[in-house]
Amino acid sequence: MLTIIIKTVAILLFMTAWAVLCVMKYNKWRRRRKKCTKEMTVKVIEVLERKTARGGMVYKPVFQTVDTADQIVIDSAFYSALVFFEVGESLALLVNPENVKEFLYKDDSLNKGRTVDMISCFLPFICVIGYILVRVTT
């Protein structure tokens, strides 16, 4: 009986932590969507590269505005292997007017960080379903 209670409590704690993490990720992207209201056309002026500990490469684009009188240089706050641009490529950003380092790509398919965050919220379900399938078939 005690082992059933311990297992149930452990599962409930895990599911609660998972739900809190998913809500935090969702709120992060919702806040960013609210704050990033200023549309800017930018051109990629440089792509910084860095080698990862596992030997792969990650990239960080550096943008310069093309539609404003003052040329603003915006660099992405983080390196990523998910989005890669060519130097000279133009694209539209939705920028937070108070902090230009906080932006979203206007083309939603380029916001890979959000996609990864949302998919990671389904990972526990995938694990549970896999566990159930293994238990049922054996």
Q: Provide the pLDDT for residue 94.
A: 92
CATH class of 36-137: mainly beta
Q: Per-residue pLDDT averaged across 130-135, rounded?
A: 82
Structure-block tokens of residue 68: 């404003």
Confidence category of residue 138, pLDDT binned at 50, 70, 90 = low
Q: What is the pLDDT of residues 23-56, one digit of tens each?
A: 998 998 899 999 999 998 999 998 888 888 888 8
Domains of the chain by residue range: 36-137
